């Protein structure tokens, strides 16, 4: 019914090692197994992995992602808390983007200095 860990790895961009690790730490709960005991990833699993990856690349720690995953597992009653987590994270990402912009301006300035140096 689902796809193998190999295919899930290709689709998600995460290594098979990482997929197993994410399951182990509780980021992705109870991936189904086929008759031979092999993992079988469903479409919802893949969508969840995709969202996890976005949280991850925006700098959320594995520990916090675990807390979010745990809330999600507990069902709709935790929706407000999950929303607050995402909102807090959103603020951190905005700050990070602003900081990167500032630092980039300094780097750009340095690059300009080098150009000026090379021309003279």
| Three-state SS sequence of the chain | CCECHHHHHHHHCCCHHHHHHHHHHCCCCCCEECCCCCEEECHHHHHHHHHHHHHHHCCCCHHHHHHHHHHHHCCHHHHHHHHHHHHHHHHHHHHHHHHHHHHHHHHHHHHHHHHHHHHC
Among 42, 56, 82, 89, binds DNA (CB under 7 A): 56
Neighbours of 20 (CB within 10 A): 15
Give me the least distance between CB of 39 and a second copy, in Å please: 25
Give the nearer residue to a second copy in terms of CB position, either 1 or 102: 102
Q: What x/- string results for residues 60 through 79 when contact with a second copy is judged by CB under 8 A? A: ----------------x--x
89 binds a second copy (CB under 8 A): yes
Q: Tell whether residue 25 is a contact of a second copy (CB under 8 A).
A: no
From the list a second copy, DNA, none, pick the one residue 100 interacts with, judged by a Cβ distance below 5 to 8 Å according to partner type: a second copy
List contacts with DNA (CB under 7 A). 4-6, 15-18, 20-21, 24, 33-39, 56, 61-63
């Amino acid at each position: 019914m689902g796809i193998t860990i190999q295919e899930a790895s290709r689709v998600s961009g995460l290594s098979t090692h990482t997929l197993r690790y994410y399951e182990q730490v509780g980021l992705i709960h109870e991936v189904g197994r086929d008759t031979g005991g092999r993992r079988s990833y469903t479409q919802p699993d893949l969508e969840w992995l995709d969202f996890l990856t976005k949280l991850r690349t925006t700098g959320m720690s594995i520990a916090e992602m675990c807390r979010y995953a745990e809330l999600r597992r507990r069902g709709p009653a935790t929706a407000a808390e999950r929303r607050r987590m995402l909102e807090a994270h959103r603020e951190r990402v905005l700050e990070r983007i602003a900081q990167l912009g500032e630092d980039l301006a300094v780097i750009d300035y340095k690059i300009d200095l080098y150009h000026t140096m090379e021309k003279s």
